[in-house]
Amino acid sequence: MSLFKQLDRLRLIALLLWALPVAVLPLLGVYWLWQAEMLPWWLATMVGCGVAGYGLQFWLLRRDRHLLAKAVTTSDPYWPPRADQAWVRVEQLAEAIQPEQWPLHDGARLWMLTRNTLEEVARYYHPEEAQPLLELTVPHTLLIVERASRDLRITVSDHIPFSQALKVGDLLRAWRWKDTAERVMNLYRAGRLVINPLNALLSEAWGHMRGQAYGQAWTEIQRWLLREYVRKVGYYAIELYSGRLILTDGEADIQPTPRAGTSLSTETAEKSVGVEQPLRILVLGRANAGKSSLINALFGRLTAATDVLPDTTLALQPYRLEREGLTTALIFDSPGYDNEELNEKALQQLAFRADLILWVCAAHRPDRHLDRLYLDAVRTGFSALPDRRPPPILVVVSHIDQLRPSREWQPPYDLVNPQNAKATHIRAAVEAVAEDLAIPLAAVIPVCLADGRVYNVDDALWAAILDRQDEADKVRFLYCLEQRKRKENWILLRRQLLNAGRWLLKLPG
């Protein structure tokens, strides 16, 4: 009522006189419809249009939900395995968000939401700390908020209509005038009910449905904004703990660094490849298992020295490997791990720098205890590195031509439905190797590498290698990222020391 006391009553009367003819029109229209016996048809049309409009609004709301769902931040497949559970916690925190608890105009509440998200991720990586959030460095904390805000700005601009024209002040003013506007609308609705009861009741019903739909749409957008902000902050917090959030200029997704490895690469070999960091494929196995013969078969020509005597390969030998669909790679021939110089520790160091491992195991040798021992050593080594992905391992079962009956060799052999003794024994050997080495059956590929008898390399083995290329690229990325992180630390330290030195020189005296 205080609003009406502030108005000039004569001006209010003049306004009512101007509005009276327009206000009478609905009454006259309803009276004419009643006289023409068209009032039921008009009512039915109004109800039908209202239902159709509500249905269209409901469809638009579902479409907006679908568009917002497509714009949701997801985890990065190149994260180390340890980060997966951290992302699960971020998702749980985001799904628990209720818009009424976190008003968008309250900056203090939004900062608290940021802090809760950072603390949830920090607690996962530092469970032993009473205040894990204090383990974050100041520059990295600022960078997380900066990146999250930047990404959210881009997402809002791309997916919310007219967001470029919506100001923060508009939201605040709309929030402040909400109660006053509701009181004025209540007075208007009461007056309309007195003048035209039928039209007012129908408008109220339609307005309620329309307001409910728009209110639900706004709530959905507000909930999406809050959840997406939590996901963005959590995403970059995990990026930090995964070593991918760099302080120097550049994007978070870094490129591989040149010569990222030492034990599994040589400068000459990498220069010949012509890329910064090729895919590194390591061939492991016992002496005379067929490692060098496998490399020859992959190349289709004589590349590695082969001999019936053990220890032909005395050191790691890199070979450039190219094939359609395969990332440029270096394949490394290694000495047999039954060599005294290649102990479990040395084998672990080799595996740590490999992106894909081809483990050669002879089908006609039942003594696989040493293979399992060294394979378990590799698994144990990677279990102690939660921030690294273990390379995919393919077990290549060689010498299948020497299985019984040894004189028979008429490929191809159907191992799914073996039709003869040779195929049955090959399948039995593959299953035995998979069980003895605790390797999935799909990762065990039987081959023949004998001169003039090469079999199952160009089809099954190459298909398995190409199928695991994405996983190998993730392993390579994390290893190169580790090298990039070390380089960044040196760059920052040098910059800080130079700036500190300049500042000291400027001091008086």
Q: Could you read off the pLDDT of 403-420 as tens digits, one per residue? A: 999 889 999 999 999 989
Residues 6+ apart with CB under 8 A from 329: 278, 279, 280, 281, 320, 321, 322
Q: In which element (H, E) is residue 361 found?
A: strand 356-362
Give phi and psi for 61, each to the nearest 5: -65, -45
Are 115 and 59 in a shared domain?
yes
The answer to whether residues 308 and 223 belong to one domain is no
Give CA angle at 181 (177, 186), nearest 5°. 155
Is 59 in the same domain as 197?
yes
| Token pair of 144 as six digits | 């997380």
Over the stretch 335-353, which tens digit does the pLDDT of each residue have? 888 766 677 888 888 898 8
The verdict on residue 17 lying in a domain is: no
CB 174 within 8 A of CB 222: no
pLDDT (average), residues 8-31: 73
Indicate whether 234 and 333 sit together in one domain: no
Does 502 reside within a domain?
Answer: no
Q: Is 273 found in the same domain as 214? A: no
Same structural domain, 370 and 428? yes
What pLDDT, in 10s, does the model give residues 240-287? 887 777 666 554 443 444 443 445 554 444 444 444 578 899 999 998
* Tally of structural domains, the chain: 2
In a domain, residue 496? The reply is: no
Residues 376-385 pLDDT 10s? 999 999 988 8
Same domain, yes or no: 335 and 385: yes
Q: Which domain CATH number covers 346?
A: 3.40.50.300
The reported pTM is: 0.64
Residue ending a domain, choose from 192, 223, 241: 241
Domain boundary residue, one of 202, 226, 241:
241
Task: Based on the fold, state whether residues 271 and 180 are members of the same structural domain.
Answer: no
Residue 102 included in any domain = yes
Q: What pLDDT does residue 262 have? A: 40
Q: Is residue 297 domain-shared with residue 234, that is, in the same domain?
A: no
Q: Assess contact for 472 and 328: CB atoms under 8 A.
A: no
Print the domain residue range for 311.
267-482
Instruction: Give 458-488 pLDDT, tens digit per residue.
Output: 989 999 999 999 999 988 888 777 666 666 6
Same domain assignment for residues 310 and 448: yes
Give me the residue label for tokens 């340890």: 82
Within-domain flag for 438? yes
Same domain assignment for residues 235 and 276: no
Q: Is 256 a domain residue?
A: no
Answer for the pair 43, 49: CB distance below 8 angstroms, yes or no.
Answer: no
Inside any domain, residue 319? yes
Domain annotation covers residue 218: yes
Q: Please say whether the beta carbons of 47 and 206 come within 8 A.
A: no
Whether 293 and 373 share a structural domain = yes
